[in-house]
Structure formats: C-alpha cells, structure tokens
Amino acid sequence: MTPPTHPFISAGVASWVEQVNQFGGALADGTLGVADIPEALARIHVDFERLHPFIDGNGRTGRLLLNLVLTRLGWPPIVIFKEQRRRYLKALDRADHDDLGPLAELLARSVVDNLHRLIPNIAGPAKYVPLEALADEEFSLAALKQAAGRGRLEAIIGTDGRYRSSRAALETYRAKYWRG
C-alpha cells in the first residue's frame, strides 16, 4: 500500500472525517443496518490507515481514532492484543484488497470480548454473567467451565447453553477449592 503524498493528506483527512460523520448519521437515523456496522467500522479504520503515512504507529493511531468513534457511540473500545497482531495485520492487508470481512470480524469480536470484560464490573458481584466475563489469567474459561460442570462453581446454564456465574460465586470457589 502506498499512502498519498503529503499535499493530499489534508483533503484525505477531511474526507475521512466526513465519512465518520456519515457513519454516525446513518446509525442515528437507522439507515445503516446492524449487520453492516462491522464492515462500516472496518472501512473507516482501513481508510484512515491508508491516509496515515508514517513508518510506525499507524495501527495504534487508527485504533485510537476508531475507539474515539466507538466510545462516542457508547460502545466499548477495541483492543487488539499482542497475540492477535499477526491476524490483525493479515486482516488489514486483505482489507487493502477490498476484502473487509476478516477485519470486520476481528473488530466485532474485539468489541464483544471487551464487553465481556466490562460486564462483571458493571453487573456487581452477585449478578450472573457469562463465564467468559469471569475468565482471567488465574482462571481460564476452560477451567471455569470444568468447575461449573463438576458443581464446584455455582453456575447456571442459560437457554443458549452457556454457563453463567457471578463474581461472588467465583470468590467462594476460590476460597473453598482453589489451590493455585
């Protein structure tokens, strides 16, 4: 990908800001369907990356701007972790060739994953949340599912087949069974 030369950057940024404003307007008036949002976000992100002509920091700056858009919409931010970097770069490369699908999926999954990380903090210690929201460095999702399946971690199975538990139940499990 070859970025535009410096005389075209200002016009490109103005066009990108207009694109972001149109995205916000389409969300507000309902002309953008829910299924179209991930690809629209991917388009916004890749279009900025095409404008940002620096050797290093392109993705960080673009993700910060995308997070500004998301948080102004009231959505959780996107975080691309170090172990996702290769997948992110491949998705950006495919988006440069007009295949937005992989980047859209990566961004959408990041929003959902961050929402899972936020839920326990919002829900409070006694409210049931998906086990994904309780998993961390100490307790992997697989370990929590196993503990719930064995009846050691107080949990329920929702109509969607997913286990749900609470931070309070996790603390009880930690005190009673965990030897980590």
Reported as a single tens digit per residue, the pLDDT across 144-154 is: 999 999 999 99
Confidence class for position 4, pLDDT limits 50, 70, 90: confident
Structure tokens at 85: 């970097």
End position of a domain, from candidates 96, 122, 148: 122
Q: Which of the pair, 16 or 3, is modelled with greater confidence?
A: 16
pLDDT at residue 160 tops 80: no
End position of a domain, from candidates 122, 145, 160: 122
Are 59 and 147 found together in one domain? no
Q: In total, how many domains does the chain have? A: 2
Q: Which of 108, 91, 109 is nearest to 100 (CA)?
A: 91
Q: Which of the pair, 33 or 158, is modelled with greater confidence?
A: 33
- Domain range for 166 is 124-176
Structure tokens at 167: 């931070």
Partner residues linked to 130 by β-bridges: 164
Cα 116 to Cα 28, 52, 90, 123, 141: the distances in Å are 25, 31, 25, 11, 12
Q: Which tens digit of pLDDT belongs to each residue from 52-83?
A: 766 665 778 888 999 999 988 888 889 888 88
pLDDT at 171: 92
Q: What is the pTM of this model?
A: 0.67
